[in-house]
Protein backbone atom coordinates (compact mmCIF):
# COMPACT_ATOMS: atom_id res chain seq x y z
CA UNK A 1 0.00 0.00 0.00
CA UNK A 2 1.13 3.55 -0.65
CA UNK A 3 0.26 6.51 1.52
CA UNK A 4 0.20 9.72 -0.58
CA UNK A 5 2.01 12.64 1.04
CA UNK A 6 1.22 16.06 -0.51
CA UNK A 7 4.36 17.86 -1.68
CA UNK A 8 5.04 20.78 -3.98
CA UNK A 9 3.99 19.87 -7.50
CA UNK A 10 2.07 16.72 -6.59
CA UNK A 11 2.27 13.83 -4.17
CA UNK A 12 5.06 11.75 -2.74
CA UNK A 13 4.34 8.07 -2.21
CA UNK A 14 5.26 6.85 1.26
CA UNK A 15 5.10 3.06 1.67
CA UNK A 16 2.52 1.85 4.15
CA UNK A 17 3.46 -1.46 5.70
CA UNK A 18 1.06 -4.31 6.50
CA UNK A 19 -1.33 -3.99 9.42
CA UNK A 20 0.42 -4.68 12.69
CA UNK A 21 3.68 -3.04 11.66
CA UNK A 22 2.38 0.51 11.36
CA UNK A 23 4.08 1.81 14.50
CA UNK A 24 7.59 1.37 13.12
CA UNK A 25 7.06 2.50 9.54
CA UNK A 26 3.81 4.34 8.90
CA UNK A 27 3.76 6.63 11.87
CA UNK A 28 7.27 8.09 11.87
CA UNK A 29 7.67 8.17 8.09
CA UNK A 30 4.22 9.68 7.76
CA UNK A 31 5.17 12.47 10.18
CA UNK A 32 8.45 13.07 8.35
CA UNK A 33 6.71 13.02 4.99
CA UNK A 34 4.16 15.60 6.12
CA UNK A 35 6.84 17.80 7.66
CA UNK A 36 5.40 17.38 11.15
CA UNK A 37 8.42 18.57 13.14
CA UNK A 38 6.68 18.41 16.52
CA UNK A 39 5.84 14.73 16.18
CA UNK A 40 9.31 13.87 14.86
CA UNK A 41 10.78 15.66 17.87
CA UNK A 42 8.67 13.45 20.16
CA UNK A 43 10.25 10.46 18.41
CA UNK A 44 13.68 11.64 19.52
CA UNK A 45 12.47 12.41 23.02
CA UNK A 46 11.88 8.66 23.30
CA UNK A 47 15.64 8.17 22.78
CA UNK A 48 15.11 6.54 19.40
CA UNK A 49 17.99 5.72 17.07
CA UNK A 50 18.35 8.57 14.51
CA UNK A 51 19.83 6.10 12.02
CA UNK A 52 17.09 3.48 12.34
CA UNK A 53 16.12 1.95 9.02
CA UNK A 54 12.56 1.04 8.19
CA UNK A 55 11.90 -1.95 5.98
CA UNK A 56 8.85 -3.20 4.14
CA UNK A 57 8.29 -5.46 1.19
CA UNK A 58 9.40 -2.98 -1.48
CA UNK A 59 12.05 -1.07 0.48
CA UNK A 60 14.89 -3.40 -0.47
CA UNK A 61 17.39 -4.91 1.91
CA UNK A 62 18.81 -1.52 2.96
CA UNK A 63 15.66 0.02 4.36
CA UNK A 64 14.85 3.74 4.30
CA UNK A 65 16.01 6.02 7.10
CA UNK A 66 14.37 9.20 8.32
CA UNK A 67 17.05 11.70 7.35
CA UNK A 68 16.92 10.45 3.76
CA UNK A 69 13.18 11.00 3.50
CA UNK A 70 13.35 14.46 5.07
CA UNK A 71 16.14 15.44 2.64
CA UNK A 72 14.26 14.01 -0.32
CA UNK A 73 11.15 16.03 0.45
CA UNK A 74 13.06 19.18 1.38
CA UNK A 75 11.87 19.42 4.99
CA UNK A 76 14.84 21.49 6.19
CA UNK A 77 13.80 21.77 9.84
CA UNK A 78 13.41 18.01 10.12
CA UNK A 79 16.77 17.49 8.39
CA UNK A 80 18.32 19.75 11.04
CA UNK A 81 16.48 17.82 13.76
CA UNK A 82 17.97 14.55 12.61
CA UNK A 83 21.44 16.09 12.35
CA UNK A 84 21.12 17.61 15.83
CA UNK A 85 20.34 14.12 17.09
CA UNK A 86 23.54 12.73 15.51
CA UNK A 87 22.06 11.12 12.41
CA UNK A 88 24.76 10.01 9.96
CA UNK A 89 24.49 12.20 6.82
CA UNK A 90 26.78 9.92 4.80
CA UNK A 91 24.73 6.72 4.90
CA UNK A 92 22.93 5.76 1.70
CA UNK A 93 19.64 4.36 0.50
CA UNK A 94 19.24 2.86 -2.98
CA UNK A 95 22.41 4.55 -4.21
CA UNK A 96 21.75 8.02 -2.80
CA UNK A 97 22.99 9.83 0.29
CA UNK A 98 20.73 12.48 1.85
CA UNK A 99 22.86 15.15 0.16
CA UNK A 100 22.58 13.45 -3.23
CA UNK A 101 18.79 13.19 -3.08
CA UNK A 102 18.34 16.75 -1.75
CA UNK A 103 20.59 18.10 -4.53
CA UNK A 104 18.78 16.06 -7.18
CA UNK A 105 15.43 17.48 -6.08
CA UNK A 106 16.74 21.04 -5.84
CA UNK A 107 16.07 21.50 -2.12
CA UNK A 108 18.60 24.22 -1.33
CA UNK A 109 17.56 24.49 2.32
CA UNK A 110 18.12 20.78 2.96
CA UNK A 111 21.37 20.85 0.98
CA UNK A 112 22.57 23.80 3.07
CA UNK A 113 21.72 22.08 6.35
CA UNK A 114 23.54 18.92 5.29
CA UNK A 115 26.64 20.70 3.98
CA UNK A 116 26.84 22.87 7.10
CA UNK A 117 26.97 19.66 9.13
CA UNK A 118 30.61 19.03 9.96
CA UNK A 119 30.10 15.31 9.36
CA UNK A 120 28.96 15.41 5.74
CA UNK A 121 31.25 14.44 2.86
CA UNK A 122 30.39 16.92 0.13
CA UNK A 123 32.34 14.93 -2.48
CA UNK A 124 31.02 11.50 -1.56
CA UNK A 125 30.50 9.25 -4.59
CA UNK A 126 27.21 7.34 -4.77
CA UNK A 127 26.70 5.25 -7.91
CA UNK A 128 29.98 6.79 -9.09
CA UNK A 129 28.72 10.39 -9.02
CA UNK A 130 28.71 13.32 -6.59
CA UNK A 131 25.84 15.39 -5.22
CA UNK A 132 27.05 18.17 -7.52
CA UNK A 133 26.49 15.85 -10.48
CA UNK A 134 22.91 15.20 -9.34
CA UNK A 135 22.18 18.92 -9.03
CA UNK A 136 23.72 19.63 -12.45
CA UNK A 137 21.95 16.70 -14.09
CA UNK A 138 18.55 17.90 -12.88
CA UNK A 139 19.15 21.54 -13.71
CA UNK A 140 19.29 23.17 -10.27
CA UNK A 141 21.62 26.11 -10.81
CA UNK A 142 21.31 27.60 -7.30
CA UNK A 143 22.24 24.26 -5.75
CA UNK A 144 25.17 23.85 -8.16
CA UNK A 145 26.43 27.34 -7.29
CA UNK A 146 26.06 26.69 -3.57
CA UNK A 147 27.93 23.38 -3.69
CA UNK A 148 30.75 24.89 -5.74
CA UNK A 149 31.11 27.74 -3.27
CA UNK A 150 31.27 25.20 -0.43
CA UNK A 151 34.12 23.28 -2.02
CA UNK A 152 32.46 20.60 -4.14
CA UNK A 153 34.87 19.18 -6.71
CA UNK A 154 33.52 20.08 -10.19
CA UNK A 155 35.70 17.55 -12.03
CA UNK A 156 35.17 14.56 -9.75
CA UNK A 157 33.32 11.61 -11.22
CA UNK A 158 33.64 8.28 -12.92
CA UNK A 159 35.66 8.29 -16.16
CA UNK A 160 36.28 5.13 -18.16
CA UNK A 161 36.87 4.82 -21.88
CA UNK A 162 33.90 6.37 -23.71
CA UNK A 163 31.91 7.04 -20.56
CA UNK A 164 32.15 9.89 -18.12
CA UNK A 165 29.97 10.91 -15.19
CA UNK A 166 31.29 14.26 -14.12
CA UNK A 167 28.93 17.15 -13.27
CA UNK A 168 29.43 18.77 -16.67
CA UNK A 169 28.48 15.53 -18.42
CA UNK A 170 25.26 15.30 -16.44
CA UNK A 171 24.23 18.84 -17.34
CA UNK A 172 25.11 18.46 -21.00
CA UNK A 173 23.21 15.22 -21.40
CA UNK A 174 20.08 16.58 -19.72
CA UNK A 175 20.23 19.83 -21.68
CA UNK A 176 19.60 17.89 -24.87
CA UNK A 177 16.25 16.72 -23.51
CA UNK A 178 15.24 20.15 -22.24
CA UNK A 179 15.31 22.07 -25.50
CA UNK A 180 12.26 24.28 -25.86
CA UNK A 181 11.62 24.43 -22.11
CA UNK A 182 12.48 26.96 -19.43
CA UNK A 183 14.86 24.40 -17.96
CA UNK A 184 17.05 24.66 -21.05
CA UNK A 185 18.41 28.06 -19.99
CA UNK A 186 19.06 26.73 -16.49
CA UNK A 187 21.25 24.03 -18.02
CA UNK A 188 23.07 26.62 -20.12
CA UNK A 189 23.98 28.55 -16.96
CA UNK A 190 25.15 25.38 -15.25
CA UNK A 191 27.27 24.34 -18.23
CA UNK A 192 28.85 27.79 -18.48
CA UNK A 193 29.63 27.70 -14.76
CA UNK A 194 31.13 24.22 -14.75
CA UNK A 195 33.01 24.82 -17.97
CA UNK A 196 35.16 27.43 -16.25
CA UNK A 197 36.84 24.60 -14.34
CA UNK A 198 37.69 22.50 -17.36
CA UNK A 199 41.27 22.24 -18.55
CA UNK A 200 41.87 23.74 -21.99
CA UNK A 201 44.15 22.23 -24.62
CA UNK A 202 45.38 23.79 -27.91
CA UNK A 203 43.25 23.12 -30.98
CA UNK A 204 46.27 21.80 -32.84
CA UNK A 205 46.95 19.19 -30.15
CA UNK A 206 43.27 18.26 -30.07
CA UNK A 207 43.27 17.80 -33.85
CA UNK A 208 46.35 15.59 -33.72
CA UNK A 209 44.81 13.54 -30.93
CA UNK A 210 41.63 12.89 -32.92
CA UNK A 211 43.57 12.11 -36.11
CA UNK A 212 45.75 9.63 -34.25
CA UNK A 213 42.68 8.10 -32.68
CA UNK A 214 40.93 7.58 -36.01
CA UNK A 215 43.95 5.65 -37.26
CA UNK A 216 43.34 3.03 -34.61
CA UNK A 217 40.06 2.15 -36.34
CA UNK A 218 39.06 -0.30 -33.62
CA UNK A 219 37.48 2.43 -31.55
CA UNK A 220 35.07 5.31 -32.11
CA UNK A 221 35.94 8.72 -30.64
CA UNK A 222 33.36 10.65 -28.67
CA UNK A 223 33.24 14.39 -29.26
CA UNK A 224 30.52 16.49 -27.63
CA UNK A 225 30.03 20.07 -28.74
CA UNK A 226 29.90 22.66 -25.98
CA UNK A 227 29.87 25.70 -28.22
CA UNK A 228 30.98 26.56 -31.73
CA UNK A 229 34.63 26.72 -30.71
CA UNK A 230 34.81 24.15 -27.91
CA UNK A 231 34.45 20.39 -27.49
CA UNK A 232 34.91 17.79 -24.81
CA UNK A 233 36.94 14.75 -25.68
CA UNK A 234 36.78 11.99 -23.10
CA UNK A 235 39.49 9.46 -22.42
CA UNK A 236 39.15 6.69 -24.99
CA UNK A 237 40.24 3.04 -25.16
CA UNK A 238 43.61 2.47 -23.54
CA UNK A 239 45.44 5.56 -24.79
CA UNK A 240 47.84 6.90 -22.20
CA UNK A 241 46.46 10.44 -22.23
CA UNK A 242 44.40 12.07 -19.51
CA UNK A 243 40.90 13.21 -20.59
CA UNK A 244 41.14 16.26 -22.82
CA UNK A 245 38.46 18.58 -21.59
CA UNK A 246 37.65 21.30 -24.07
CA UNK A 247 39.55 23.08 -26.82
CA UNK A 248 40.86 26.61 -26.38
CA UNK A 249 39.78 29.26 -28.82
What is the total count of domains within the chain?
A: 3
183 & 169 share domain: yes
In the 3-class helix/strand/coil scheme, how is 79-94 assigned residue by residue?
HHHHHHCCCCCCCCEC
pTM reported for the whole predicted model: 0.72
Residues 213 and 203: their CA atoms lie apart, in Å, by 15
145 & 208 share domain: no
132 & 237 share domain: no
Question: Can you spell out the DSSP letters for 200-217?
Answer: PB-HHHHHHHHHHHHHH-
Q: For residue 181, give its domain range.
A: 122-197
27 & 42 share domain: yes
87 & 186 share domain: no
pLDDT band at 18 (very low <50, low <70, confident <90, very high): very low
Per-residue model confidence (pLDDT) at position 162: 57
115 & 2 share domain: yes
Residue % of the chain over a pLDDT of 90: 49
* Mean pLDDT, range 169-190, rounded to an integer: 93
Per-residue model confidence (pLDDT) at position 27: 82
91 & 150 share domain: no
68 & 166 share domain: no
93 & 14 share domain: yes
Amino acid sequence: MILAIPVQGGYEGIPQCPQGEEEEVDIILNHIGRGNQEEVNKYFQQQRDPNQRFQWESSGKDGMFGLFLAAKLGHTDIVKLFLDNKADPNQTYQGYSPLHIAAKNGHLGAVTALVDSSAVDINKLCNKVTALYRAAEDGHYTVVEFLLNKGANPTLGWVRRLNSKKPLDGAMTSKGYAEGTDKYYEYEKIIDRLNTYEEKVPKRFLGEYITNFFQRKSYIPLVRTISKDEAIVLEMSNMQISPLLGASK
